[in-house]
Amino acid sequence: MKKIAVLAALLMVFACASAQAALSSPYTNSVGLNIAAGTGTANGEVLAATVAGYTGNTQANWNNIGDGTNNYLSPTGAPVDMNNAGVTGLSVSLWGGWMQPDGADFSGWYGPGSAGDLDYIGKVAGRNLWDDYDTGPVHISVTGVPYTSYDVAVLTAPRDGASSWSLLGSGNISGDTVTYQIGGDQDRSQLYAFQILSMDSDGGGAVPEPAGLGLIGLALLAVRKRRS
């Protein structure tokens, strides 16, 4: 019974570790871009320890970005990957649409998430609540992607709808550049986050997967020691 208890305890540690940031094959590294209206979770920022991402591919160290080009609100004013390693040459531009908070009470248009979640505040396409000006579609352009082979996932939501992840088609990707547009006049579709998923074998500094296997190995080793 003691052998079983030791094995169960170690496997529980393994299960808890697996709940942390992790990518699924074929992905080996990622860069996450969270859209925020400013610093602080009330303004849409997510913390460095926040773990989220495309289905089965979660990461920490999201970059909080605002309007304009290379407006990195946090954590360092420069882009980092999921391992908090700097990403040289990556340039991000975000324009069009409108974003809360902006000094007006647009509380009904906050996303479905809570403060600190990726889908709390995003860029909204179309017009404001009273339709007195047209801001058009939301655009994002990323150049200098450091991966040779990669996919891009976006977190979006329709007007008053739930948010969901989806992969962009090949037409949005050209070499090291990604472009994306969502919504139109009065559309009010929302863009919350953008995740670049590397398929390069070296991952550009990806966290190796064998950590979990090591825990299983420790469990088996403990059982073997008790047998000897």
- Report the SS3 class of residue 62: coil
Q: For the beta carbon of residue 16, count every other beta carbon within 10 angstroms.
A: 10
> Quick check: bond before 210 cis, omega within 30?
no
Specify the pLDDT at position 204: 65
Tens of pLDDT, residues 112-138: 899 999 999 999 887 655 555 667 899
> Using an 8 Å Cβ cutoff, are 198 and 147 in contact?
yes
Q: For position 91, what pLDDT does the model report?
A: 97
What's at 151, amino acid-wise? D
pLDDT value, residue 224: 38
Domain ranges across the chain: 23-208
pLDDT, residue 162, reads 92
Cα separation, 38 vs 164, in Å, equals: 23
- The pair of structure tokens assigned to 38 is 């400013």
pLDDT < 70 positions in the chain: 1-19, 102-109, 127-134, 185-186, 204-228
Global pTM value: 0.79
Residue 216 has a pLDDT of 39
pLDDT at 111: 85
pLDDT the model gives residue 115:
92
